[in-house]
Amino acid sequence: MCVYIYCRVWNRCCSAQNKMENQDLSKFTIKGDPQSLQNKISQIRMAGPSKLQVIADFDGTLTRYFINGSRGQSSHGLLQQGNPEYDAKRQALYEYYHPLEFSPTVPLEEKTKLMEEWWGKTHGLLIEGGLTYDTIKKSVSNALIAFRDGVVKLFEFLEERDIPVLIFSAGLADIIEEVLRQKVHKSFKNVKIVSNRMVFDKDGHLVSFKGKTIHSLNKNEHALDMAAPLHEHFGDTDGPNYDNASVKNRTNVLLLGDHIGDLGMSDGLKYETRISVGFLNDNIENNLDNYRNAFDIVYLVSGTQT
Ligand SMILES: [Mg+2]
């Protein structure tokens, strides 16, 4: 099973001759109302590629949740600072805050403050611990991280049609870019990373972060606007100009995420038609109903599948 099926789906979306009924969607669980999904596909197909954009979460969505039976690492989790004391300090923060992030008893407002606190402290430790860009490169090359099958084909398919992809992540932009460089060995003119971006001094030491911190619970907060200072282009500079205005004019969205909160990634956009795909990576039995209600299409990931 692979993400490339989206290419096939979208190929058909973009081609009036093809019919939805012919698609092999047997590996997806489609939301209760297939007709509604069909209508959305028709609307997006009619509007054409110039109206479409893709907004995708990174960790656990574009990347594999399991790799050879082990949990894949996240863009934050893979980072080894080259300073064991600081790696341990960040791990201690993870152990304290991670259960709070998923606690059913902590109110959302309080949880949001906790997440700001966690991200702030973690970023502070990265600066204090003297993170360098070379360390990022080394961490990525040693990391257990891989794209899902088909992601590269999907990006290529979209690039050929000048359809932008916004990777929207509470992780670290610089690491996501390095993962693209090392695991895909190419850049895409149409792919932009909206995530926490580091500022390095001339010696390659991290000195600060740009813009507002994006954490796991504010990916819905005027998403595109707050990311404005982070909209640096990854890839060739002579490609199409995907500034905020042009992205906002693309009012049809294919949204990919692995948490229900990822649906908020399109909140900064007055979209006309959105098709959402949820990757249900874990605890499938307990989460399936919620995912089916929240997403148009749910992709089930079990065990060692990609
Ligand atoms: Mg994710």
pLDDT score recorded for residue 27? 56
Whether residue 177 is found in the same domain as residue 279: yes
Whether residue 97 is found in the same domain as residue 217: no
Say which of 24, 33, 59, 243 is annotated catalytic. Answer: 59
Q: What tokens does 235 get? A: 């890839």
pLDDT score recorded for residue 236? 37
CB distance 73 to 145 below 8 Å? yes
What distance in angstroms lies between residue 75's CA and the mean position of ligand 1's atoms?
10
Q: Is 138 exposed, middle or buried (0-12, 13-18, 19+ CB in 10 A)?
A: middle
CATH number, domain with residue 41: 3.40.50.1000
Bridge partners for 70 per DSSP: 67
- What are the pLDDT digits (tens) for 125-154? 999 999 999 999 999 999 999 999 899 999
Whether 84 is covered by a domain: the verdict is: yes
What distance in angstroms lies between residue 203's CA and the mean position of ligand 1's atoms?
32
Q: Which of 95, 101, 171 is nearest to 140 (CA)?
A: 171
Whether 113 is covered by a domain: the verdict is: yes
Whether 140 is covered by a domain: the verdict is: no
Whether residue 124 is found in the same domain as residue 268: no
pLDDT score recorded for residue 237? 38
Domain span including residue 123 = 80-130
Number of domains in the chain: 2
Interior angle at CA 250, CA 184 and CA 267, nearest 5: 90
What distance in angstroms lies between residue 111's CA and the mean position of ligand 1's atoms?
18
Q: What tokens does 69 get? A: 């039976």
pLDDT score recorded for residue 137? 95
CB distance 115 to 101 below 8 Å? yes
Whether residue 181 is found in the same domain as residue 122: no
| 296 given a catalytic annotation | no
What distance in angstroms lies between residue 63's CA and the mean position of ligand 1's atoms?
9
For residues 23 and 3, give the distance between their C-alpha atoms in angstroms, rounded to a whole number: 14
pLDDT score recorded for residue 28? 57
DSSP state at residue 49: G
Q: Residue 78: CA atoms inside 13 Å, Cβ hemisphere, count?
A: 26
What distance in angstroms lies between residue 57's CA and the mean position of ligand 1's atoms?
6
pLDDT score recorded for residue 54? 96
Q: In what order do the strands lie in the sheet with 165-172?
A: 28-30, 297-300, 273-280, 252-257, 52-56, 165-172, 191-200, 206-210
> Which residues are within 8 A (CB) of 72 and not within 5 positions of it... i.e. 6 or more apart?
60, 63, 64, 65, 66, 144, 145, 146
Whether residue 103 is found in the same domain as residue 219: no
- Specify the residue for token string 């990609």: 306
pLDDT score recorded for residue 82? 80
Against a cut of 0.95, is the pTM above it?
no
DSSP state at residue 178: H
Residue numbers of the chain with a pLDDT score lower than 70: 1-30, 32, 221-246, 302-306
Whether 135 is covered by a domain: the verdict is: no
- The values of phi and psi at residue 203, to 5°, are -90, 5
Say which of 24, 57, 243, 296 is annotated catalytic. Answer: 57
106-114 contact pairs (CB < 8 A, 24+): 108/217, 111/217, 112/215, 112/217, 112/218
- Sequence length of the chain is 306
Whether 150 is covered by a domain: the verdict is: yes
| 57 given a catalytic annotation | yes
Whether residue 179 is found in the same domain as residue 92: no
Q: Which of 134, 147, 142 is nearest to 186 (CA)?
A: 147
pLDDT score recorded for residue 303? 53
Whether residue 155 is found in the same domain as residue 119: no
pLDDT score recorded for residue 4? 45
DSSP state at residue 149: T
DSSP state at residue 30: E
What distance in angstroms lies between residue 42's CA and the mean position of ligand 1's atoms?
28
Q: Which of 164, 155, 157, 144 is nearest to 184 (CA)?
A: 155
In sequence order, what E strands does the chain have?
Answer: 28-30, 52-56, 66-67, 70-71, 165-172, 191-200, 206-210, 252-257, 273-280, 297-300
Q: What tokens does 239 get? A: 């490609």
